[in-house]
Amino acid sequence: EFTYCALIEILGRAKEFQAIWHLLNAMRESGITVTAVPFTTLINSYGRVGMAEEAEQAFRSMQDFHCKPNVYAYNALLNAQLKVQRIEEALSTFMDMAQNGCDPDVVTYTTLITGLCRYGELDKASNLLDEMVNRECAPNTWTYTALVQGFLKAGHAEKALATYEQMQKKGCTPDAVTYNSLIDWFCKEGKPDKALELLDEMVGKGCDPDFGTYTALIDGLFKAGRADMALSTVRRMIRKGCNPDTATYSTLISWLCKEAETEEALDFLDWMMSRDSDPNNITNATLINGLFKAGRTDMVLCTVRRMMGKGCNPNKVTCTALVNWLCKQGKTDEAVELLDAITGTGLTP
């Protein structure tokens, strides 16, 4: 049983859904009692790739396995539904929980609050927080942070800050994610100094900055025209033992290209590739786009090849741009060659 669950987890990440179903059926046929665990794993796997209807189907089929959904299964379903904006369905899942005597927990509420905020249903989200308190289901740092983030993204800074206050009054300590949300918001508002103050505050309170903190700051400082400070933040990050990840690299590469520092941007790519982290699709798009904008068309093709060598293929937008450019240059052969090299795209200029 334990082994099965581990296997299903792996299959789920590999999107081998059919294999999971076969495994579940095999388990049932061999008389193994199927618990809610493998179903939760399956529902989550569907959820991750946005297959909400399949997630719903998996949830319903639990019945056929005489398996009663628990709060984990409900939460996974809610998550899958909200990810693709099935708000009505999610709300009815939430009602079902109550009817089936399954008490929502803090994860249930946080999932709902996050989902509702994402689609602008801030009042509903806010009401849920009140409902939690009334039902003696204590919100935690994640719950408050989700709501803070929701208000910030919706441009309701006052409410965000009020929630942030409320959180602390209730004894929930802000963590790195909470700070990162606020830091990012200050940066986006063009107030990197405020963001830096918050950085000091978090450090002062013993909360370690992470990738998110530094990346948000670096981006904000570049945006505010303070490239030198941004680069010193990179050094600080490395000095503190927090190594840049792919998002940090993308931020750097993007800005360096904008600042016409393409050599530095390419140096970062070298550095990145010489280290643990491989470029991902976003790094790829960032760099290619940056090189085009900076007029470094000489470097475009060899960079594309290097990244493809690392298994990092251009996305649709980049690919179209590349092919267009090659065709304009009259290098249609190279364009066709490139298209062939990129699997599974049927794009033609």
Residues interacting with RNA, by CB under 7 A?
2, 5-6, 9, 35-37, 40-41, 44, 70-73, 75-76, 79, 105-108, 110-111, 114, 140-143, 145-146, 149, 175-178, 180-181, 184, 210-216, 219, 245-248, 250-251, 254, 280-283, 285-286, 289-290, 315, 317-318, 321
Q: For RNA, give the closer residue by CB, 294 or 336.
A: 294
CB of 235 to RNA, least distance (A): 16
CB of 205 to RNA, least distance (A): 14
CB of 257 to RNA, least distance (A): 8
Q: For RNA, give the closer residue by CB, 39 or 306.
A: 39
Residue type, 170: K
Q: For RNA, give the closer residue by CB, 41 or 93.
A: 41
CB of 212 to RNA, least distance (A): 3
Using CB atoms within 10 A of its CB, is residue 194 exposed (0-12), middle (13-18) or buried (19+)? middle
Q: For RNA, give the closer residue by CB, 177 or 304.
A: 177
φ, ψ dihedrals at 100, nearest 5°: -90, 10
CB of 108 to RNA, least distance (A): 7
The residue among 235, 265, 267, 237 whose CA lies nearest residue 251 is 265
CA 118 to chain centre: 13
Q: For RNA, give the closer residue by CB, 220 or 339.
A: 220
Residue 191 contacts residue 158 (beta carbons within 8 Å):
no
Q: For RNA, give the closer residue by CB, 250 or 262.
A: 250
CB of 22 to RNA, least distance (A): 18
CB atoms within 10 A of CB 91: 18
CB of 300 to RNA, least distance (A): 14
CB of 116 to RNA, least distance (A): 11
d(CA 283, CA 309): 14
CB of 288 to RNA, least distance (A): 8
Q: For RNA, give the closer residue by CB, 328 or 333.
A: 328
Q: For RNA, give the closer residue by CB, 71 or 87.
A: 71
CA distances from 54 to 37, 42, 82, 207, 293 (A): 17, 9, 14, 40, 42
Residue 102 contacts residue 70 (beta carbons within 8 Å):
yes
Q: For RNA, give the closer residue by CB, 275 or 333.
A: 275
